[in-house]
Amino acid sequence: MTLLETHRIKISGYNPQTGPHLFDLNSDYTEGISITDQMRRGHNIVQEALVAGIIGPDKPLLIIGAGVAGMMAAVTAAKAQVTTRVIEKEQRTFSVQFNCPSRWVCPTQYSWPNTGWDKGFYPLDQHTKPFVWHRALADVATKILREELQEFLDKNDQLKVILKTEFKGYRLAKDHTGLLRVIPVLDVTPKDPQFPPAFAMALACTGFGEENTVVQKTAADAPYTGQIFWQVDKYEDDNPPLGIDSGTPNVLISGSGDGALQDFLRIATTIDAAKVLGKPTIRRAGSAAALYSIVFKNLPAIERRIRNRVKIIEQRYRTESSSASSRHSDMEIRTLIGCCVNGEAQLEHLTLIKELCKNARVWRQVVYALDQVVRDLRHEITIKVLYPCFHISPFYGLNRFMTLLLVTYAYQRYPDVQLLYPGTVVKEIVGSGTHAPPDRCEDAYYCHGKAHRVFCASADCFAVRSGSTSRERELGSGPYNAVIVRHGILRDRRNKVLSENRLIRNTTT
- 118 occurs within a structural domain: yes
273 and 177 in a common domain:
no
292 and 202 in a common domain:
no
HSE toward the beta carbon, residue 27, CA cutoff 13 A: 19
Residues 158-176, mean pLDDT to the nearest whole number: 94
- Host H or E run for residue 333: helix 331-358
What pLDDT digit, counting tens, does each position of 417-463 carry? 999 999 999 999 999 988 887 777 888 888 999 999 999 999 876 66
Average pLDDT, the chain: 89
Residue among 163, 227, 153, 151 nearest 190 (CA): 163
Domain of residue 262 covers 211-490
293 and 176 in a common domain:
no
Domain count, the chain: 2
Q: How far apart are CA 106 and CA 12, in angstroms?
A: 41
- 145 occurs within a structural domain: yes
Give counts: helices (H), strands (E), the chain. Answer: 14, 22
234 and 205 in a common domain:
no
184 and 39 in a common domain:
yes
386 and 257 in a common domain:
yes
Residue predicted with more confidence, 164 or 333: 164
- 507 occurs within a structural domain: no
240 and 163 in a common domain:
no
471 and 430 in a common domain:
yes
What pLDDT digit, counting tens, does each position of 376-421 carry? 999 999 999 999 989 998 789 999 999 999 999 999 999 999 999 9
Q: How far apart are CA 15 and CA 375, in angstroms?
A: 60
347 and 329 in a common domain:
yes
Which range among 178-187, 330-339, 372-381, 485-494 shows the weakest confidence by mean pLDDT? 330-339
CB-based contact 97:138 (threshold 8 Å):
yes
456 and 431 in a common domain:
yes
191 and 45 in a common domain:
yes
Provide the CATH number for the domain around residue 49: 3.50.50.60
